[in-house]
């Protein structure tokens, strides 16, 4: 996936998440069941996680793959990417 495609994907996913959040607000106003509300919250959590993974993947590609030919990946770049991954999964 190209950087532009990833950006469009993230934006579309975020718009979908906004729609789900609005839907949850409406569900609560309409006194929908806890089961229905929690199901939607679970869908939002999964969507947010996926957005994070897409962003993390693009970050890793940018830092580790998109380097000049012949240039080696520095220890600092690898550590930066690993630190980002660790912070995300905590």
Query: CA–CA distance from 72 to each of 31, 68, 76, 77 (Å)?
Result: 58, 8, 11, 10
- Report the C-alpha gap between 38 and 34 in whole angstroms: 6
Domains of the chain, earliest start first? 3-89 (1.20.58.1000)
The structure tokens listed for 15 are 């718009």
Say what the pLDDT of residue 74 is: 83
How large is the average pLDDT for residues 63-68? 72
Say what the pLDDT of residue 2 is: 79
Q: What is the tens place of the pLDDT at every residue in 12-30?
A: 999 999 999 999 999 999 9
What's phi and psi for 33, nearest 5 deg?
-70, 155
């Amino acid at each position: 996936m190209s950087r532009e495609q990833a950006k469009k994907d993230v934006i579309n996913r975020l718009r979908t998440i906004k729609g789900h959040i609005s839907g949850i607000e409406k569900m609560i106003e309409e006194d929908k069941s806890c089961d229905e509300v929690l199901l939607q919250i679970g869908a939002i959590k999964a969507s947010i996680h996926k957005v994070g993974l897409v962003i993390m993947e693009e970050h890793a590609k940018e830092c580790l793959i998109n380097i000049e030919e012949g240039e080696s990946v520095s220890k600092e770049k690898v550590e930066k990417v690993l630190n980002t991954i660790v912070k995300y999964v905590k």
